[in-house]
Each structure stands twice: as structure tokens, then as C-alpha cells.
Amino acid sequence: MLLAAQMSDDQIAIIGCVVVFGACIGMMLLSQKIGNRVRGRSQTTRPDVVRFPITAEQSTADRKAA
């Protein structure tokens, strides 16, 4: 209680934000662990890049300048 009396409101708010941020990171890690156990590790990973089919080159010979 003595420490809280010596700190300003801004300092208490910053410490509160750091504590809440740490709690959010902890919840995120816990959620990831639970999700991995529910889904299982046997799922195949999907590539991050989606490949689109290559289209034929368009000819510019028939185009005229304005």
C-alpha cells in the first residue's frame, strides 16, 4: 500500500497496462496450446502463397497509341 501511495496516477496506469498486456499474452499462449491439442498435430500445413494459373501473353502489336 505504501508503494501505491508514492506512485502517481500515470505510473499506476502504465503498470496496469503492462500487467494486462502480460495477461493477454498468457491467454494467447494458453489458447494456442489448447487449440493444438484439440486440432491435433496431424493436420497438413497449407502454403502461405496461393498460386494462380499463368495466363497467355497478350499481344501488343494490335494496339495503337492515342
CB contact set of 12 (below 8 Å; sequence gap of 6+)? 4
Per-residue model confidence as pLDDT tens digits over 18-36: 999 999 999 999 999 998 8
Q: Is the pLDDT of residue 17 over 80?
A: yes
Q: What is the pLDDT of residue 46?
A: 67
CB contact set of 7 (below 8 Å; sequence gap of 6+)? 15
Q: What is the pTM of this model?
A: 0.52
